[in-house]
Amino acid sequence: MLAAWAAALAVSGCGAAVLSPNGTHAAPGPVASSSGPESYTVSSPVSTLVVNGGAGTITVTGTSAATVTVTEQAYYSNSAKPPSTTHVDQDGTLTLGYTCPLQLTCGVSYAVSVPRQVAVLVTDREGAITLTSLAGPLRAQTVGGVITGTALASRSATFKSTAGEITAAFTTVPASVSAATTAGPITLTLPPGAAYRVHAHTYIGSSTVSVRQSAAASSVISASSDVGSVTVSPG
């Protein structure tokens, strides 16, 4: 699984999407076209989901269903050259991605529903990443955009943004969480009552840790922002 994750870190796609100030995908600009959303279902067993985004939002939601459902929304400025999307299901790993002909605006937004225990690796360049109700291992990385995780029960999670806020709330005690951004605040919400080994750091901004801490705790939390506040609190 880790080998598949490492191989997927190269982001597919090119071009630029239209973004709102908070890093989410905004409506296409006046020169952009938008095809209708394309949806499909993957019924074969999937243990790992890899999304190689480029420009556009990525939303992954955990469900009780046994299948994976994908909805793709493409944006592009050259109506004759829409993005070319791909999905490859091999040995339990479903990999989503796209390529774009060179043009002013080109991107694809993804909305994916997966079984909750599926491992999820998401990379993006421009756009928000939203992860909801997931219980498998998580990795989310974006260059410019916010990362939001809600109702997470994952034992391990890694979040990284070059410029953007990171917010993640857990319903069960994780074994390890790593959150890092160059510019933007970090807010981690953890189950109350448990003890955590917390490493929180910021160069410019405040750092607030209000969960119970212990050097012997098995749950390790790391949060680092070069410019922005860091908050680790019980939920």
**pLDDT tens readout for residues 216-229:** 999 999 999 999 99
Residue type, 163: A
Residue 186 banded pLDDT, cuts 50, 70, 90: very high
pLDDT tens-digit map of 100-143: 988 888 999 999 999 999 999 999 999 999 999 999 999 999 99
Strands 220-227 and 195-204: parallel
What was the pLDDT predicted at 208?
98
Question: Residue 217 to residues 80, 155, 165, 193, 196: CA-CA distances in angstroms?
Answer: 57, 14, 27, 12, 5
What was the pLDDT predicted at 49?
98
Instruction: Among 20-29, 94-103, 172-181, 224-233, name the one with the lowest average pLDDT.
Output: 20-29
Instruction: Among 5-9, 183-187, 196-200, 220-224, name the one with the lowest average pLDDT.
Output: 5-9
Q: Report d(CA 132, CA 87) in Å as an integer.
A: 22
Residue 13 banded pLDDT, cuts 50, 70, 90: very low
Name the residue among 185, 176, 192, 169 with its Cα closest to residue 224. 185
pLDDT tens-digit map of 155-178: 999 999 999 999 999 999 999 999
What was the pLDDT predicted at 32?
64
Residue type, 142: T
What was the pLDDT predicted at 72?
96
- Is residue 6 exposed (0-12), middle (13-18) or buried (19+ Cβ within 10 Å)? exposed
What was the pLDDT predicted at 28?
40
Residue 87 banded pLDDT, cuts 50, 70, 90: very high
Q: What is the mean pLDDT of the chain?
A: 88
In the structure encoding, which two tokens stand for residue 104, read together?
């002013």
- Say yes or no to pLDDT of 213 above 50: yes
Tell me what the mean pLDDT of segment 181-198 comes to: 97
Give the percent of the chain with pLDDT over 70. 86
Pick 9 or 149 by higher pLDDT: 149
Per DSSP, what are the bridge partners of residue 212?
195
